[in-house]
Amino acid sequence: MEASATVAEPVLEAADLCLSYRERPVLQGLDFRLVPGQSYLLTGPSGAGKTTLLKAFAGLLPFQGELRVLGQSWAALTPAQSRQLRTRIGFVFQRAGLFDFLTCLENLTVPLQQRTSLSRAEQREKAQHALEEVGLGDAAARRVHELSGGMQKRLGIARALLFSPELLICDEPTAGLDPITGRSILELLAEVQERHSVSFLMATSNPKPARHFTEKIGMLWQGKIGWEGKWEDAFQSGTAAVQQFFKGALEGPLTEELAVDRV
């Protein structure tokens, strides 16, 4: 008998994941699976809970249910183990989360000071290398408030790559950018994923520009992944809400929900 092929353990796996925000249910029995090396685009209506889900995946929010990341269950980890696991996850925040009063280089050396035993010279060298990788090699001395929106996104990506993560999570990486700058950021992320062989999860409310940069698309709706597939499959979906969202139609089951203030 031939030996069966070894199945790689998922990078991310959620089962019956539930989470409420200010006593309002956001995630309701969500199941999710991301395999090693995969690039996945998470989309859905504004307010559906995409950011909340990403933060739960990164161990930044409490939840109910089962959630395993890089082979470890968040619920079973001690605080020290949780901090260690977070170094294996790169997170690019929607609003960058940068220190405006620091330079680009300092925004990268601060986390290195906090989490490593590298010398000051080694920290600066590592930070400079990260800046060069995202096209900011000449901007090391510039402060964040002096940067354009696209440059700030690049700096956020550089910070996320500092600890050579195995999983890269990006929340609305093109939000607030013009189409040309947005595409340059998506191309940078695609290059980063290929160069580092990192598993990649990106969330956006506008999936069309990113459809060529990911292998699989999932739509978050009513607290669950209501549909998964490829871009072209969405328009043939038997679910009216899926078709309405991807076509951008004004009439359909999502219209009333979009008028409601959601998390």
* pTM of the predicted structure, to 2 decimals: 0.88
Q: Does residue 205 belong to any structural domain of this protein?
A: yes
Q: What are the residue ranges of helices labelled H in the chain?
A: 50-57, 79-86, 104-115, 120-133, 149-160, 179-196, 231-234, 240-247, 253-258
Model pLDDT for residues 55-96, shown as the tens digit of each residue: 999 988 889 999 999 999 998 999 999 989 999 999 998 876
Q: Is residue 123 part of a domain?
A: no
Q: Which two tokens stand for residue 48?
A: 């559906």
| Domain at 63, CATH number | 3.40.50.300
Q: What is the strand order of the sheet 24-34 is part of? A: 24-34, 12-21, 64-69, 72-73
- Asked if the structure places residue 229 within a domain, the reply is yes
200 or 94, higher pLDDT? 200
Q: Is residue 152 part of a domain?
A: no
How many alpha carbons fall within 13 Å on the CB side of residue 95?
A: 4
Percentage of the chain surpassing pLDDT 70? 94
Tell me how far apart the alpha carbons of residues 257 and 2 are, in angstroms, rounded to a whole number: 52
Residues near 132 by beta carbon (within 8 Å), at least 6 away in sequence: none
The total number of structural domains that make up the chain? 1
Residue 153 within any structural domain of the chain: no
The span from the CA of 234 to the CA of 247, in Å, is: 9
pLDDT digits (tens, 9 = 90+) for 210-260: 888 888 999 999 999 989 998 888 888 878 888 888 888 888 888 866 555
Mean pLDDT of the 22-39 span? 91
Spatial CA neighbour of 91 closest among 132, 53, 133, 131:
53
Structure tokens that stand for 255 in this block: 């219209």
Q: What tens digit of pLDDT does each residue of 117-146 get?
A: 899 999 999 999 999 999 999 999 999 999
86 in a domain, yes or no?
yes
For residue 221, is it within any domain? yes
Q: How far is CA 1 from the centre of its chain?
A: 42
> Would you say residue 7 has pLDDT above 80?
no
Residue 243 resides in a domain: yes
Indicate the average pLDDT of the chain.
89
Residue 254's domain comprises 12-25+37-92+166-258
